[in-house]
Chain A
Amino acid sequence: EVQLVESGGGLVQPGRSLKLSCAASGFTFSNYGMAWVRQTPTKGLEWVASISTGGGNTYYRDSVKGRFTISRDNAKNTQYLQMDSLRSEDTATYYCARHLITIAAIWDYWGQGVMVTVSS
């Protein structure tokens, strides 16, 4: 059974950093591109970042470029999202998701999500 379990969320002040982790199991992690997608009640679902199978290619939405870094450790079956210079508009539930096909933006499995709140 495919499982994606996020951790690392919480309350953080604007301008500070937070690192999310996503532990994967039930599939060959190194064979799949991975992503982070976030959701808020006001803006809905937004793709945040994606990473290729080996980690050599990364992609970001414009609003997080230069602030967020996606990475993965295939030996640990884990992907990460390092979030720096956080803003109030980054407040959201962050989902870890598996790409269905290479790095095409279709996600066939999602984690339960982790809440990130950016507030002073």
Chain B
Amino acid sequence: DTVLTQSPALAVSPGERVTISCKASESVSTRMHWYQQKPGQQPKLLIYKASNLASGVPARFSGSGSGTDFTLTIDPVEADDTATYFCQQSWNGPTFGAGTKLELK
């Protein structure tokens, strides 16, 4: 299985720019997707195929990368963005990262 590695946590102030990284153990081309999950809620699709914004998602969210290194950027961060962010690849049997918990200062 392709392993996706994410940093466990980040803390930023509202209005700042934050980048959340995801590193794949092997190339997944651009078959990387990002989800947001707030406590007690289901995951929500933010970005698909590395850089495509999902329907209804604010343009503050963007994604980039290919191969093994991917980034989710939120600019500017708002208080409502407090959540855990998961990357997921669909190139080699779907797998998810463990998630990055974003906290606001």
Contact = CB atoms under 8 A, between A and B. Distances in A.
Interface residues of A, number: 17
Interface of B: 33, 41-45, 48-49, 54-55, 86, 88, 90, 93-99
B42 A110 contact: yes
A44 interface: yes
B94 A44 contact: no
Given A105-B88, A106-B88, 5 more contacts: A47-B93, A47-B96, A95-B42, A100-B54, A106-B48
Contact of A106 (B44, B45, B86): B45
A113 B55 contact: no
B42 A112 contact: yes
A46 B44 contact: no
Instruction: Tell me what chain B mostly uses at the interface: helix, strand, loop, or mixed.
Output: loop
Interface string A86-120: 00000000010000100011111111110000000
Interface of A: 44-47, 61, 95, 100, 104-113
Contacts of A112: 41-42
A105 B99 CA distance: 18
B45 A107 contact: yes
A105 B88 CA distance: 9
Nearest to A100: B48
In this complex, the member of A46, A61, A100, A111 whose beta carbon has the largest number of chain B beta carbons within 10 angstroms is A100
Contact of A95 (B43, B98, B99): B43
B90 A105 contact: yes
B96 A46 contact: yes
- Of A45, A95, A112, A113, most buried by chain B (CB within 10 Å of CB) is A45
Nearest to A35: B94
Given A46-B96, A47-B94, A106 B33 contact: yes
Contact of B54 (A45, A46, A108, A111): A108
A44 B88 CA distance: 11
Nearest to A61: B93
19 contacts: A44-B86, A44-B96, A44-B99, A45-B43, A45-B86, A45-B88, A45-B96, A47-B95, A100-B45, A100-B48, A105-B94, A106-B33, A106-B45, A106-B48, A107-B45, A108-B54, A108-B55, A112-B42, A113-B42
